[in-house]
């Protein structure tokens, strides 16, 4: 990774639209000639990042360095980059040839000439007709559309339009080619073909490609490096192999390929407990730490009932072409297994997993902690934009409330808790959600959902961009709006301010 091989660098890039953050503190460097893919669910900020590189959006803050020069505030027509748009964005009133020649006709090339004084000077000129003609023909050849020059673009099929769009971009010989879900509108077979062709083109042209997709398979097939983005934040950067085998967190594991994700506990050096047994693994975390454990379905081996490490029972089977996908139950936990050997549903089996195929990750969230909570005059706690009934007497052991709601400590002192700062902690399993929006204190939208063997972990975001992490056994859908309620006895409070200031 030589520094001078870096063609593009994004440093602390931030962008928000109407107050909601779309890209947060993004840092990334791209090597010359690399095929980098931004991968993430829709609305994660990947397209916005690409548009900031293209110059179609301006970042709120941060730098975008192209060959070391900051281009963050440069308008798009001054950047030596070209984009292939999601819906092609061909010019309908121009034919194929003129669409491709559009950029060339505007381009100025510098050349050297000798002036009257005999000095060599650099001048700029436009491309000649013959030069443009040669370049357009070459581009058409690259995308396999020779003899289409005079066709009206509106009469072309989706695949052909896509090829014109690619030709229109590469004909300008950009330093970086930006592709915004270019295959999204094509059917599956066409998409697979174009994936290989694009990859081939990347090899031949030697241009740096930055590719945006929400299709993980596409990303794995084509990329040198994948940048997994969720909620405007980079989750992981790595080669397809790294991302698949060593996902950085539960989100990445869930998003890329099929996976089993469990909550486990480290119980010794390189020993982790999940699915009701202790497993050998190759990662080290602190003893007793709760961790997320990821096992890929193809890494689980099925044995006859007593040969494996843990007993299981097959409850479901799907034939997937090259393999069977089984769902087995280990106690309350579901296990997804892929195997080429058939087993009947209902069969008792046992399972083993190789230690190096158990991927252990630090848990991102262990509880909901609100550091900026405070108590209001009704002795309710306020956080996340709502007030919640709670038991304030837990702030000092043995404290009580008098009939007027003043706080009495065991030593007889009296306090008015109004406005006092506290830290509120709520366990993930203690938050109740409901689709009856009147029921809870506040409503939010489910923005992420990960299955963890016997429960879902949801992230619910309120309108004020406050997040609640919730464990639930029930199935919800992403982007559902739900209301949130919390049992008053389940809110743990800790004093943050000096209590003596509130004495009356």
Q: Could you tell me the smallest distance in angstroms from the CB atom of residue 107 to other proteins?
A: 6
Kindly tell me which residue out of 59, 103, 247, 297 binds other proteins, with binding defined by CB under 8 A.
103
For the chain, what's the residue count? 504
Q: Could you tell me the smallest distance in angstroms from the CB atom of residue 95 to other proteins?
A: 11
Q: How far is CA 160 from the centre of its chain?
A: 31
Of 249, 467, 232, the C-alpha closest to 369 is 467
Contact 399, 409 (CB under 8 A): yes
Q: Could you tell me the smallest distance in angstroms from the CB atom of residue 165 to other proteins?
A: 8
- The contact mask relative to other proteins for 161-200 (x = CB under 8 A, - = no) is -------xx--x----------------------------
Q: Could you tell me the smallest distance in angstroms from the CB atom of residue 76 to other proteins?
A: 4
| Comparison of 79 and 296: residue with beta carbon closer to other proteins | 79
Of 226, 224, 227, 218, the C-alpha closest to 194 is 218
Tell me how far apart the alpha carbons of residues 460 and 462 are, in angstroms, rounded to a whole number: 7
Q: What is the dihedral of CA 384, 385, 386, 390, to 10 degrees?
A: 40
Q: Could you tell me the smallest distance in angstroms from the CB atom of residue 106 to other proteins?
A: 4
| Comparison of 95 and 231: residue with beta carbon closer to other proteins | 95
Contact 225, 37 (CB under 8 A): yes
| Comparison of 59 and 297: residue with beta carbon closer to other proteins | 59
| 95: DSSP letter | B
Per rule CB under 8 A, is residue 55 in the interface with other proteins? yes
Q: Could you tell me the smallest distance in angstroms from the CB atom of residue 118 to other proteins?
A: 34
Tell me how far apart the alpha carbons of residues 341 and 325 are, in angstroms, rounded to a whole number: 10
| 76: DSSP letter | G
Structural tokens at position 249 = 């967190």
Which helix (H) or strand (E) segment is 385 a member of? none
| Comparison of 94 and 401: residue with beta carbon closer to other proteins | 94
Per rule CB under 8 A, is residue 140 in the interface with other proteins? no
Residues 336-375 that bind other proteins (CB under 8 A): none
Kindly tell me which residue out of 73, 154, 304, 400 binds other proteins, with binding defined by CB under 8 A.
154
Residues 63-102 that bind other proteins (CB under 8 A): 75-77, 81-83, 85-93, 102
Tell me the β-bridge partners of 431.
Answer: 486
Residues 104-123 that bind other proteins (CB under 8 A): 106-107
| Comparison of 92 and 118: residue with beta carbon closer to other proteins | 92
Structural tokens at position 14 = 């931030």
| Comparison of 90 and 417: residue with beta carbon closer to other proteins | 90
Count Cα neighbours of 57 within 13 Å in the Cβ-side half-sphere: 20
| Comparison of 109 and 437: residue with beta carbon closer to other proteins | 109
Terminal Cα-to-Cα distance of the chain (whole angstroms): 65
Radius of gyration of the CA atoms of the chain, in A: 29
Size of the site for other proteins (CB under 8 A): 28
Q: Could you tell me the smallest distance in angstroms from the CB atom of residue 167 to other proteins?
A: 12
Coarse DSSP helix, strand, coil percentages of the chain, rounded to the nearest 5 percent: 20, 40, 35
- Binding residues vs other proteins (CB under 8 A): 54-56, 75-77, 81-83, 85-93, 102-103, 106-107, 152, 154-155, 168-169, 172
């Amino acid at each position: 990774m030589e520094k001078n091989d870096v063609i593009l660098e994004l440093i602390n890039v931030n962008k928000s639209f109407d107050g909601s953050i779309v890209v947060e503190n993004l840092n990334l460097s791209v090597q010359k000639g690399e095929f980098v893919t931004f991968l993430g669910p829709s609305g994660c900020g990947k397209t916005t990042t690409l548009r900031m590189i293209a110059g179609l959006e301006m970042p709120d803050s941060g730098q975008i360095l192209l060959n070391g020069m900051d281009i963050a505030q440069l308008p798009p027509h001054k950047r030596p980059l070209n984009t292939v748009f999601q819906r092609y964005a061909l010019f309908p009133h121009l034919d194929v040839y003129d669409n491709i020649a559009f950029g060339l006709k505007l381009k100025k090339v510098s050349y050297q000439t000798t002036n009257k004084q005999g000095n060599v000077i650099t001048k700029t000129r436009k491309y000649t007709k013959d030069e443009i003609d040669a370049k357009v023909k070459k581009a058409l050849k690259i995308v396999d559309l020779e003899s289409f020059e005079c066709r009206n673009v509106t009469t072309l099929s989706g695949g052909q339009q896509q090829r014109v769009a690619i030709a229109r971009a590469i004909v300008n010989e950009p330093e970086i080619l930006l592709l915004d879900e270019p295959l999204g509108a094509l059917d599956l077979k066409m998409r697979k073909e174009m994936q290989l062709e694009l990859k081939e083109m990347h090899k031949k042209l030697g241009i740096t490609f930055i590719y945006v997709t929400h299709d993980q398979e596409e990303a794995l097939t084509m990329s040198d490096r994948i940048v997994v983005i969720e909620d405007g934040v980079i989750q992981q950067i790595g080669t397809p192999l790294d991302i698949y085998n060593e996902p950085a967190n539960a989100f990445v594991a869930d998003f890329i390929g099929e996976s089993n994700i469990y909550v486990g506990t480290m119980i010794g050096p390189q020993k982790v407990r999940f699915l009701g047994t202790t497993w050998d693994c190759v990662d080290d975390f602190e003893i007793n730490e709760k961790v997320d454990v990821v096992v890929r379905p193809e890494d689980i081996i099925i044995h006859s009932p007593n040969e494996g490490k843990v007993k299981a029972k097959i409850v479901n089977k799907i034939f997937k072409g090259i393999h069977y996908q089984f769902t087995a139950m280990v106690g309350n936990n579901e296990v997804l297994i892929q195997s080429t050997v058939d087993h009947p549903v209902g069969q008792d089996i046992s399972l083993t997993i190789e230690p190096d195929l158990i991927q252990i990750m630090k848990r991102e969230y262990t509880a909901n902690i609100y550091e900026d909570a405070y108590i209001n005059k009704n002795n309710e706690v306020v956080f996340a934009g709502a007030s919640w009934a709670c038991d304030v007497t837990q702030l000092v052991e043995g404290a009580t409330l008098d009939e007027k709601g003043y706080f009495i400590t065991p030593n007889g002192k009296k306090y008015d808790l109004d406005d006092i700062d506290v830290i509120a902690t709520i366990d993930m399993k203690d938050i109740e959600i409901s689709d009856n929006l009147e029921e809870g204190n506040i409503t939010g939208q489910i923005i992420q959902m990960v299955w963890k063997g016997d429960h879902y972990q949801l992230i619910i975001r309120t309108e004020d961009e406050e997040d609640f992490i919730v464990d639930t056994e029930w199935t919800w859908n992403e982007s559902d709006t739900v209301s949130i309620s919390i049992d008053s006895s389940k809110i743990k409070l800790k004093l943050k301010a000096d209590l003596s200031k509130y004495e009356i």
